[in-house]
Structure 1
Amino acid sequence: MTDSIYDFTLTEMSGKPISLADYRGQVLLIVNTASKCGLAPQLTGLEDLYQRYGKDGLVVIGTPSNQFHQELKDGEDTVEYCQVHFGVTFPLTQLMHLNGKETHPLWQFLKQSTNSGAIKWNYTKFLVGRDGTVLKRFAPVTTPEKIEPAIQDALK
């Protein structure tokens, strides 16, 4: 396991690398997304947080996964769907595994950092502080509005 969240480089849907080291000193909200999930309307709330707190140092990163069979198969379709239906402008990575032997190393790190088990559903969220510490894991049903106070605290 890596020692720091900043050791990870993800790949945006467009193929562009996203080095988490570039976000050192900012607050990260990392969310596993799925376009066709009943919780997908949370994308609107996540975008709202990104727009309202981005100037203060919040970065939202969506990591689409089809592990629960609710994501579009094509990355370009996923990005377009999220932009058209939910106004998403925050970065979306290429599809990744959250559980099992193919688990993406970032998701292994997030789960181990919070001593938490398997990702049980889409829209599990991890809040990472300005110092790179994983502060908290939020359940899929916990709406972006309900985690806003924790985000505000992390931004202080």
Structure 2
Amino acid sequence: MLAIAAVDGHRFASIDGGEIDLADWRGQPVLVVNTASRCAYTRQYDGLQALYDRYRERGLVVLAVPSNDFHQELRSDEEVKDFCEVNFGLDLPMTTITSVRGDAAHPFYRWVRAQSGFEPNWNFNKILIGPEGGIVATFGARARPMSRPVTDAITGLLE
């Protein structure tokens, strides 16, 4: 119960306008990924969309969190949205450009750090939140979205 309460309090500004409230996905696994448009790992957007396409009907949510903490993101939310739609055909939920590390980190990322000690050390780090709201697994930038460790962790939550 405590984990849900912590996740329930986290809201992000949506790149499409409005708000993304993690509480809306209570009972579903959520993979939260800090992203950047000008990173060597940017091609992982294809894998994130494939992962979302494969498992969304079973409840998985993939949330992209563009961040310029590593100085590899475009200048505006509009540029990020256009880049992702044109180059990757993304239709997964996405926040506005958001800080993910240090004192300026979004409260969700500060909560993750407090709960698990995990803090993104580069773009495309992944945090898997379970249906009950707790942190199930974390993955570094090198973990491809469709890799076995990631998909095994997700399918274990869907079955």
Q: TM-score, normalization: structure 1?
A: 0.94
Residue 44 of structure 2 is matched in structure 1 by 42
For structure 1, the 5+ residue unaligned runs are: none
Q: Secondary structure at the match of 1:83?
A: helix
Residue 107 of structure 1 is matched in structure 2 by 109
Alignment of 1:1-156 (within 5 A): 3-116=5-118, 118-146=119-147, 147-156=150-159
Structure 1 CA distance for aligned equivalents of residues 38 and 146 of structure 2 = 21
Report the alpha carbon displacement of residue 113 of structure 1 after superposing the two structures with TM.
Answer: 2.2
CA RMSD of aligned residues (A): 1.3
Structure 2 CA distance for aligned equivalents of residues 49 and 14 of structure 1 = 21
For structure 2, the 5+ residue unaligned runs are: none
CA contact (8 A) 1:114 1:137 kept: no
Q: Secondary structure at the match of 1:18?
A: strand
Structure 1 CA distance for aligned equivalents of residues 89 and 16 of structure 2 = 17
Report the alpha carbon displacement of residue 51 of structure 1 after superposing the two structures with TM.
Answer: 0.9
Q: Secondary structure at the match of 1:135?
A: strand
Tell me which moved more, 38-47 or 3-12: 3-12
Tell me which moved more, 107-116 or 94-103: 107-116
Q: Secondary structure at the match of 1:76?
A: helix
Structure 2 CA distance for aligned equivalents of residues 100 and 134 of structure 1 = 19
Q: Alignment length, in residue pairs?
A: 154
Superposed CA deviations along residues 70-101 of structure 1, whole A, max 9, x for unmatched, are: 10011011011011111211011011111122
Report the alpha carbon displacement of residue 26 of structure 1 after superposing the two structures with TM.
Answer: 0.6
Q: Secondary structure at the match of 1:141?
A: coil
Q: Percent of aligned positions with the same letter in both sequences? A: 36
Structure 1 CA distance for aligned equivalents of residues 11 and 85 of structure 2 = 23
